[in-house]
Amino acid sequence: MTKVLIIGAGHAGGTVAALLRQYGHEGEIVLAGEEPAPPYQRPPLSKAWLKGETDLEGLLLRPESFYAEHGIELRLGASATAINAAARTVIFADGAVESYDALILATGSTARKLTIPGAERPELLELRTLVDAERLKAALGPGRRLAIIGGGYVGLEAAASARALGSDAVVVERMDRVLARVASHTLSDFFTGYHRRHGVEILTSAEVTAVEDDGARLADGRLVEADAVLVGVGALACDQLALGAGLTCENGVVVDETARTSDPAIWAIGDATFRPVPTHAGRRHRLESVPNALEQAKQAAAAITGRAPPAAEVPWFWSDQYDVKLQIAGLPDGADRQVVRGDPDPAGDSPSFAVFHLQGDRVLCVEAVNAGPEFMAGRMMIGRGTPVDPEKLADPSVSMKAVAVG
Ligand code: FAD
């Protein structure tokens, strides 16, 4: 009977272990991860958990007892160091060797490090794991000032949570706008305004050249004073094991639509992968999101248990900041125009709007701010390739149902 070894006990690893049992896998399942905690959700680390609105139990994907109850051997604090693909074994840091029939790499991603003077300071904060989040939380509170290097989602969410905890927060972004790599100008402008409205200082086109005792030094000589500095400059795929085993890697472990790698006995899922996106012409992307981890967990579990592959999903993502729920579906590359529906003014009461990225009359991506119906309809239209009338789309008085052409 097939023995499945899963390396990485995060969102993707924890999910695929449970799905294998749900799909009828009767063989051995070993789920090995290097963190001390059972599989948990990371999104609340910068949001509800950081603000003290949920505890560790609330973070766990499943109660710790679930794994033993379902015959899943959960090994925590177990760091895999090499794969011997020919022998079908994995070697661990403590010298243990584990065999497999099917191997699933669910090693996630790791926080990108700065390479400037002071980057090695032990007091510098990052936000990837529960341990990181505990350190950040300890640095926050009334009268404290947090400097965040990087205006991406994690940095902005941390800024919003810092404000909720009574801290001052300043975001320092090298590009000329926050969320520059991942969102439209409209969305960047909205979040900049909304954060400023909530007392966050946002500095753009500001490059940090050193981290010092009193804060972050900028290229123009200014010192951004802070009691604590959080680095949030993106994440890199953890693909070292795959590279060492000779698997094809390119911005992550290259997989197909069934999450299989270039070795037929090895699958890879979650943040660590560079995967084709069928709803976007099959182009490869590295998607760092919970929905992606769940989708690929389904793909791998289906393939290993001999089930039909699950239907392709439109990629999506969310972020919570203050009272704003951002939901994004699809991918904008290839779009030739943007249509804004609603009012993106950050000074407005109860903001609600959506930015649609179109290629011709097809929606490729929707960025929805407190706009659930636009998100839901947009996601469906992306999946189905529904043609839309851009004029009607821009008019919030026309229902989302009525914007489809024909
Ligand atoms: P992870 O959950 O990172 O798990 C990978 C695990 O593998 C880790 O525990 C790691 O220690 C372990 N590992 C790595 N190498 C080894 C090894 N050699 N041996 C053993 N174990 C190993 N996504 C959203 O969709 N919405 C959000 O709002 C959102 N917010 C986020 C906020 C924060 C602060 C962070 C950090 C992420 C957020 N994400 C969000 C992203 C989301 O959490 C990830 O996409 C998701 O966790 C990916 O799951 P994964 O299993 O691939 O990786």
**How far is the centre of ligand 1, averaged over its atoms, from the C-alpha of 109 (Å)?**
6
User: What pLDDT, on a 0 to 100 scale, did the predictor assign at position 31?
Assistant: 98
Output the CA 211–ligand 1 centroid distance in Å.
Answer: 26
Which residue's CA is minimally distant from atom 43 of ligand 1? Answer: 42
Measure the CA dihedral 109/114/120/124, to 10°. Answer: -80
Which residue, by CA, sits nearest to atom 27 of ligand 1?
A: 43
Task: Please state which CATH class domain 130-231 belongs to.
Answer: alpha beta
Pocket mutation for ligand 1, best pick of 11, 274, 299 (most atoms within 8 Å of C-beta):
11
pLDDT of residue 1: 63
Q: Output the ligand 1 site: residues, CB below 6 A.
A: 7-13, 32-35, 42-43, 45-46, 79-80, 106-108, 127-128, 154, 238, 241, 270-272, 288-291, 293, 317-319
- pLDDT tens for the chain, 406 residues long, are 699 999 999 999 999 999 999 999 999 999 999 999 999 999 999 999 999 999 999 999 999 999 999 999 999 999 999 999 999 999 999 999 999 999 999 999 999 999 999 999 999 999 999 999 999 999 999 999 999 999 999 999 999 999 999 999 999 999 999 999 999 999 999 999 999 999 999 999 999 999 999 999 999 999 999 999 999 999 999 999 999 999 999 999 999 999 999 999 999 999 999 999 999 999 999 999 999 999 999 999 999 999 999 999 999 999 999 999 999 999 999 999 999 999 999 998 899 999 999 999 999 999 999 999 999 999 999 999 999 999 999 999 999 999 988 6
Measure CA 194 to chain center. 22
Task: Name the residue at shortest CA distance from atom 15 of ligand 1.
Answer: 107
Residue with CA closest to ligand 1 atom 46: 290
| CA–CA distance, 360 with 386 (Å, rounded to integer) | 11
CATH classification number, 323-404, choose in 3.30.390.30, 3.40.50.12780, 2.30.29.30, 3.10.28.10: 3.30.390.30
Amino acid type, 353: F
- Ligand 1 atom closest to the CA of 92, numbered from 1: 19
Shortest-distance atom of ligand 1 to CA 241: 18
Instruction: Report the nearest-CA residue for atom 24 of ligand 1.
Output: 289
Q: What are phi and psi of 317, to 5 degrees?
A: -160, 155
Beta bridge partners of residue 238, listed in sequence order: none
**Reduced to 3 states, what is the DSSP secondary structure of residue 47?**
coil
Say whether domain 4-110+235-305 belongs to CATH 3.50.50.60: yes
Please give the DSSP secondary-structure letter assigned to residue 281. T
From CA 298, how far away is CA 304, in angstroms rounded? Answer: 10
Q: Give me the residue label for tokens 């992968």.
A: 273
CA–centroid distance, residue 261 to ligand 1 (Å): 19
| pLDDT in the model for residue 405 | 85
Give the nearest ligand 1 atom to 271 CA.
Answer: 52
Alpha carbon of 136 to ligand 1 centroid (Å): 17
Q: Which atom of ligand 1 is nearest to the CA of 129?
A: 36
Which residue bears the tokens 């679930």? 66
Q: Can you give the pLDDT at residue 404?
A: 85
Alpha carbon distance 202, 159 (integer Å): 10
Domain limits, the chain: 4-110+235-305, 130-231, 323-404
Against a cut of 0.85, is the pTM above it?
Answer: yes
pLDDT the model gives residue 371: 98
Residue nearest to atom 18 of ligand 1 (CA): 80
Report how far ligand 1's centroid is from the alpha carbon of 89 (Å): 24
Which run of H or E residues covers position 66? helix 65-69
Structure tokens at 218: 């900028």
Task: Report the number of secondary-structure helices (H) and strands (E) in the chain.
Answer: 10, 25
Is-same-fold flag (4-110+235-305; 323-404)?
no
Ligand 1 centroid, distance to 178 Cα (angstroms): 22
